[in-house]
Amino acid sequence: MSFASLGLSAPLLKAIEDLGYTQPYPIQSEAIPAILKGKDVTGIAKTGSGKTAGYVLPVLELLKNKKISRNRYIKALVLVPTRELAVQVGEVFQAFSRHLLRRVKSLAVFGGVSINPQMMQLSGVEVLVATPGRLLDLISSNAVHLSEVEVLVLDEADKMLNLGFQEEVNKVLALLPAKRQNILFSATKGEEVEAYLSDLLQDPFRIEIEEEAVVPDLIDQVAYQTPAERKGPLLRYLIQQENMEQVLVFTSSIRAADNVVGKLMKNGVAAAAFHGEKSQGGRTEALKQFKAGKIRVLVATDLASRGIDIKFLPFVINYELPRSPKDYVHRIGRTGRAEASGKAISLVTPEDEHHFRIIQKKMGKRVPMLPTDDINLQGY
């Protein structure tokens, strides 16, 4: 199946070609035609399966020939749980709209930065990507109006609910017109998501991509047994020995992330931390430098396990294991995305071994465990 067979127009097909996409992923081949037909759609597929393009492309197709509405009365609203995901989705809208004869103006808004520039940039916006809290702030300031919204997208709906945004989302929903198209995407299907589906969507077209069909086989997973005191040197050894020019390292705490960055920098490895105590500007700059190859290592907490899309990221390292198997899958899913292969490495202490066995059981995949006693870490 090709993108051309999905009902997309030439300008969007040109943008798809420019970005190097050759054929649609399963979620896209099902979601795009359904959205173009005006159906409510719910899609359950793990992070990295192509959900974003699955709704961005048809939303642009639906809006490209419409007359521009009254200023600050948006036509499409995309709600997301994090600032990082807002930025990412905003970039995707801009990338795919580049060849449209009438450019559909989109904007990403989020908290943690000054609201005034966002208020000014909202002029002429038709597609708004927003975190719930910042959107409500803008509405209360009369900077944007929702009464003419035709399409609502809830992206990463499971995380939105898990992070406690349900009350804010409900306030937004109350301001939307009753007649609209609803699209809900989620990485997981839980009771809260199902409850939302029944309340929000009208006879939805359902898409569920099996977990095994998306990504894991493209990720080469390996674990190293190591005592806790050898973790730091082993991390630096692996970065040097495997010539890692771009690696995302996960820790379980902000303190650990900062400590790992400090020791990497002290040993001549360019690194930056990415976590909730960094300012939005600091996080944005760190991610920008990492994507541009100016720093080799980005050390992140689970804040970054979703919402960061780094094309062809070759390595992910679990310096510390996450609490849940689900978070493990989300972490390693930063690599091996779509059709690109990648490598995921976990550093496992004796105390971690039981938990790591549980992760493997839940994942349905055995990960080779390699000893490190014979590795000489002197100098690392």
pLDDT tens per residue across span 287-342: 889 989 999 999 998 765 555 667 678 999 999 998 878 778 888 888 876 566 78
Please report the pLDDT score of residue 212 as a whole number.
44
- Which pLDDT score is estimated for 158? 84
Polymer length in residues for the chain: 380
Collapse the DSSP code of 44 into the 3-class scheme (helix H, G, I; strand E, B; otherwise coil) and give the result. Answer: strand
Surface-to-core class of residue 7, CB atoms within 10 Å of its CB (0-12 exposed, 13-18 middle, 19+ buried)? middle
Determine the Cα–Cα distance for residues 69 and 73; give it in Å rounded to an integer: 6
Give the per-residue pLDDT at 217: 65
SS3 169: helix
Beta-carbon neighbour count of residue 54 at 10 Å? 26
With residue 271 as reference, give the H or E element that holds it: strand 271-274
Instruction: Kindly state the tokens that stand for 56.
Output: 């961005």
CB proximity list for 160: less than 8 A, separation 6 or greater: 79, 80, 81, 132, 154, 166, 169
Q: How far is CA 198 from its chain centroid?
A: 25
Return the CATH superfamily for domain 215-370.
Answer: P-loop containing nucleotide triphosphate hydrolases (3.40.50.300)
| Cα angle, residue 30 at apex, residues 153 and 339 outer, rounded to 5° | 95
Which pLDDT belongs to residue 30? 93
Mark the ranges of the chain whose per-residue pLDDT is less than 50: 212-215
Task: Note the helical H segments in the chain.
Answer: 10-18, 26-36, 51-63, 83-96, 115-121, 132-140, 157-162, 166-174, 191-200, 231-241, 254-266, 280-291, 325-332, 353-363
pLDDT of residue 68: 75
Distance between CA atoms of residues 209 and 186, nearest Å: 11
Same fold, 3-210 and 215-370: yes
pLDDT of residue 369: 95
Domain boundaries, the chain: 3-210, 215-370
pLDDT of residue 305: 54
Of 1.10.3720.10, 3.40.50.1000, 3.40.50.300, 3.55.10.10, the CATH number of 3-210 is: 3.40.50.300
Write the single-letter amino acid at 350: P
Give the model's pLDDT for residue 320.
95
